[in-house]
Amino acid sequence: MPKEIERKYLVDLDKWQQVEKPAGQHYRQGYLVTDPQKTIRVRLTPTQGFLTIKGISTGASRLEYEYEIPVAEAKELLDNFAVSELSKIRYHVDFKQHTWEVDEFLGDNAGLFIAEIELSSEDEAFEIPEWVTEDVTGEKQYYNANLTIHPYKNWQR
């Protein structure tokens, strides 16, 4: 069974602004199902579409099935079937033998930046860049599906 092992962190915005990074890609993603036990997501990038099914998280791991779908179909699914949606800019940053994915959320989630790293095992060692701060792995409020329902702009800070 395919398994995603991923850790999530908050980002120090002042330090992140100093990082030399490639151009980000705009992602539009919507959820067909946002159940606590599973999510079914459609993602649209500038050049690709994906259908992704994710199971419940246990630690930093969960089952994940991802399939590339035609861009036109991804757009149709988002436009006609998504019950919730978000947009973000994703940056891929290589650091010490790992690629970090940093999401700059847009719209109702503007101001939120989350860095993710995918690992081959839960106990894999890795170095953390200076612009990465608090570990929020497993904190449901930071799940993308949750951000579509309880956006960052409404959080008490």
**31 catalytic per annotation:** yes
* DSSP structure string for 22-40: PPPEEEEEEEEEEETTEEE
Spatial separation of the C-alpha atoms in residues 123 and 23, rounded to whole Å: 31
Burial annotation 73-108 (CB, 10 A radius, 16+ → b, else e): ebeebbeeebebebbbeebebebeeeebebbbbbee
Calculate the CA dihedral of residues 42, 43, 44, 48 and round it to 10 degrees: -100
User: Within a 10 A sphere around the Cβ of 126, how many other Cβ atoms?
Assistant: 12
Spatial separation of the C-alpha atoms in residues 137 and 145, rounded to whole Å: 14
Report residue 66 as tokens. 């991802």
Instruction: Out of 31, 91, 143, 152, pick the active-site residue.
Output: 31
**Catalytic center residues:** 31
